[in-house]
A and B are shown apart, each in its own frame.
Chain A
Amino acid sequence: MSKKVKAAIIGPGNIGTDLLMKAMRSELIEPVWMVGVEADSPGLKRAREMGLKTTADGVDGMVPSMRADGVQICFDATSAYVHAENSRKVNAQGAVMIDLTPAAIGPFCVPPVNLAQAVAARAMNVNMVTCGGQATIPLVAAVSRVQAVSYGEIVATVSSKSAGPGTRKNIDEFTRTTASGIEKVGGAAAGKAIIIINPAEPPLIMRDTVHCLTVDEPDQAAITRSVLAMIEEVQKYVPGYLLKNGPVFDGKRVSIYMEVEGLGDFLPKYAGNLDIMTAAGLRTAEMYAQEILAGNFVPHATQAN
């Protein structure tokens, strides 16, 4: 029987529960704790039924026993506002924090672009950017690895039903964090992000448009090859990551039109925006787990400062 690294999920909402269902299938991660703040939360109940320990007292409810329970990786699926505190507390207990909120206090991680570097850097907190970032930054990077991109812009359109209260209250954090990720991970000199929420019924599948402006005339064949290769990389953990149209070339503009269908674990298939977050978060945790299991990395307690 292969050994697994034990993990805790903070936030028993849609994202946390979908992540739990994916993590239950993982060969490297074993979810053991689900942390919430409301005793009657259906997410906590579900987690209990799946055999996890739960608390409704937030991270403080898990901290006293998390070392004894062997938790080495935590996922935060709460909100940007409480993330920093959550992270400080679990880091102090020697667990790596994978941040699914837009708080972005740790380095950004977009698996097919920079996961290897993030893991190699042994960061105790990594941030998964945003759903729109996970869906689009790989493609900005696919263009920028061919030639310089002066400007990268993404438009993420999500169904109203898949935009939870966190996203709605923090919509500015989405646009800021995604734009920053387009620059830092995508490699564009300047980044911009736009999010549109559409209430149509039946709910539309997440759509993403990526526009890049290249410094010189785009090498159409090389960019097309690079984009198609990158899409295959993302499809390894999000099979429903589909190229709808493009790359379209118009002067120095390169436009790519995508659709992201989720696996439909806990969240409906149209919510590809949420699925790509949980899938990317789990993929990141698995890479850390491989390093931990191989003895290359021992997560260490960090002092609160």
Chain B
Amino acid sequence: MDLKGKKITVHDMCLRDGMHPKRHQITVAQMVDIAKAMDDAGIPLIEVTHGDGLGGASVNYGFPAASDQEYLTAVCREMKNTKVSALLLPGIGTVDHLKMAVDCGISTIRVATHCTEADVSEQHLTMASQIKGLDRVGFLMMAHMIEADELVAQLKLMEGYGANCVYITDSAGYMLPDDVASRVALARAELKPETELGFHGHHNLAMGIANSLAAVEAGANRIDGSLAGLGAGAGNTPLEVFIAVCERMGVETGVDLFKAMDIAEDKIVPMMDHLVRVDRDSLTLGYAGVYSSFLLFAKRSAAKYKLSSRDILVELGRRRTVGGQEDMIEDLALDMARARGTI
């Protein structure tokens, strides 16, 4: 694989996807401390939001330690070079949240839908297009669930609504490098040449780095990851590792590798409530194609109703659940527990 001379933008997820393994309890002070260190390390873009995006504060997904507004305000005003993005899932957050985030100082809005439902992002991407200078990203989740041609048709919808960048998102950490390459390559061939292409990986099958490289080779120029992999499931593509690999391969990220490694080791890992890594349950997510943030919910329901969390996750995959259906987990666990006589 020859990627020498390619320039890419890496986007850190610790302060958004990383909210999942932290049950959304990262404090404002921790966010500011980590964001400033990332700014100093030259990470160009970081995401700051509730794990489930703007407006994610809920019984269903968890109430965060502070509001999106508090996090964004505190982080944005401290950034010298690093830009801040916010995530928005239509159906959870609204254009009101989007406007609030813009007022807080974000430079990028990422509007995320399930891979087949891009048209629910029209309202938000259209509105975002009217905000001068706002970087607009369409983000298609669970992209493994449909074929490349179907996926590209959905990406085109987002491009049409005004996204200047579209993402192929492996929310379940299920994809293998060929799955990524074929989707990204077709998207690159079919979308406008000026539309940027991104890939967001999860490390559930330990494919984060390999998949991200495959994406870059096929034409993606934005890659999501998180330092020390702090993210849902087995985490996102471990960003310091990816940056090191990029350096070895001659791909320019503009990030100071050693500073990135130090943040991962000295700030992110000590903050973890549990070691975010490939283990039985997170591997099951990748194997069964399940939305990564279901992990802790399945563990909690398994403990409460005396079930195996792996069994719950496998069943959620079999039922083809999509992102956001966290409410399904306790409901399903109750059905399973009744069937097995554990309640």
Interface residues of A (CB under 8 A from B): 151, 153, 155, 157, 160, 163, 165, 168-172, 174-176, 192, 194-200, 207, 209, 211, 213, 244-246, 248, 253, 255, 257
For the complex, is B221 an interface residue (Cβ under 8 Å from A)? no
For the complex, is B67 an interface residue (Cβ under 8 Å from A)? no
Contact between chains at B59 and A199 (CB < 8 Å): no
**13 other contacts beyond A198-B114, A257-B331, with CB at 8 A cut-off?**
A151-B59, A168-B119, A171-B90, A171-B120, A172-B90, A175-B92, A198-B320, A199-B117, A209-B60, A209-B327, A211-B59, A213-B59, A257-B327
Could you name 9 residue pairs across A and B whose Cβ atoms are closer than 8 Å? A160-B117, A168-B120, A171-B123, A194-B91, A197-B114, A198-B320, A200-B320, A207-B331, A257-B334
Contact between chains at A198 and B322 (CB < 8 Å): yes
A157, B332: Cα distance in complex, Å: 14
User: Which residues from 58 to 109 on chain B have a C-beta closer than 8 Å to any C-beta of chain A?
Assistant: 58-60, 90-92, 94-96
Contact between chains at B58 and A192 (CB < 8 Å): yes
A160-B117, A168-B120, A196-B325 in contact; A153/B58 too (CB < 8 A)?
A: yes
A244, B333: Cα distance in complex, Å: 12
Q: Which of A168, A211, A245, A246 contacts B60 (CB 8 A)?
A: A211
Contact between chains at B92 and A194 (CB < 8 Å): yes
A244, B92: Cα distance in complex, Å: 23
Contact between chains at A197 and B327 (CB < 8 Å): no
Contact between chains at B334 and A245 (CB < 8 Å): yes
User: Which residues from 99 to 145 on chain B have a C-beta closer than 8 Å to any C-beta of chain A?
Assistant: 114, 116-117, 119-120, 122-124
For the complex, is B42 an interface residue (Cβ under 8 Å from A)? no
For the complex, is B177 an interface residue (Cβ under 8 Å from A)? no
A170, B119: Cα distance in complex, Å: 10
A153-B59, A160-B117, A175-B91 in contact; A209/B122 too (CB < 8 A)?
A: no
For the complex, is B319 an interface residue (Cβ under 8 Å from A)? yes
Most chain A CB neighbours (cut-off 10 Å) among B95, B327, B334: B327
**Contacts of B90 on A, CB cut-off 8 Å?**
171-172
Output the nearest chain B residue to A198 by Cβ-Cβ distance: B322
Contact flags B227-257 to A (C-beta < 8 A → 1, else 0): 0000000000000000000000000000000
**Contacts of A244 on B, CB cut-off 8 Å?**
331, 335
Output the nearest chain A residue to B91 by Cβ-Cβ distance: A195
A168, B324: Cα distance in complex, Å: 17
For the complex, is B9 an interface residue (Cβ under 8 Å from A)? no
A153, B92: Cα distance in complex, Å: 11
Contact between chains at A168 and B122 (CB < 8 Å): yes
Contact between chains at A172 and B95 (CB < 8 Å): yes
A246, B337: Cα distance in complex, Å: 13
Contact between chains at A199 and B322 (CB < 8 Å): yes
For the complex, is B25 an interface residue (Cβ under 8 Å from A)? no
Interface residues of B (CB under 8 A from A): 58-60, 90-92, 94-96, 114, 116-117, 119-120, 122-124, 319-325, 327-328, 330-331, 334-335
B336 CB, min distance to chain A CBs, angstroms: 11
Contact between chains at B328 and A171 (CB < 8 Å): no
A212 CB, min distance to chain B CBs, angstroms: 9
A209, B332: Cα distance in complex, Å: 12
**Contacts of B122 on A, CB cut-off 8 Å?**
168-169
**Contacts of B120 on A, CB cut-off 8 Å?**
168, 171, 197
**Contacts of A195 on B, CB cut-off 8 Å?**
91
A213, B57: Cα distance in complex, Å: 14
Contact between chains at A157 and B328 (CB < 8 Å): yes
A266, B136: Cα distance in complex, Å: 39
**Contacts of A213 on B, CB cut-off 8 Å?**
59
Contact between chains at A170 and B324 (CB < 8 Å): no
A155, B90: Cα distance in complex, Å: 13
A255, B300: Cα distance in complex, Å: 15
A165, B122: Cα distance in complex, Å: 11
**Contacts of A211 on B, CB cut-off 8 Å?**
59-60, 327
A213, B63: Cα distance in complex, Å: 13
A168-B120, A255-B330 in contact; A198/B92 too (CB < 8 A)?
A: no
**Contacts of B334 on A, CB cut-off 8 Å?**
245-246, 248, 257
Contact between chains at A197 and B117 (CB < 8 Å): yes
**Contacts of B124 on A, CB cut-off 8 Å?**
172
**Contacts of A171 on B, CB cut-off 8 Å?**
90-91, 120, 123
Output the nearest chain B residue to A253 by Cβ-Cβ distance: B59
Q: Which of A153, A174, A198 contacts B325 (CB 8 A)?
A: A198
A151, B57: Cα distance in complex, Å: 12
A245, B333: Cα distance in complex, Å: 10
Contact between chains at A194 and B58 (CB < 8 Å): yes
Q: Which of A170, A197, A199, A209 contacts B331 (CB 8 A)?
A: A209
Contact between chains at A197 and B91 (CB < 8 Å): yes
Output the nearest chain B residue to A192 by Cβ-Cβ distance: B58
**Contacts of A176 on B, CB cut-off 8 Å?**
94
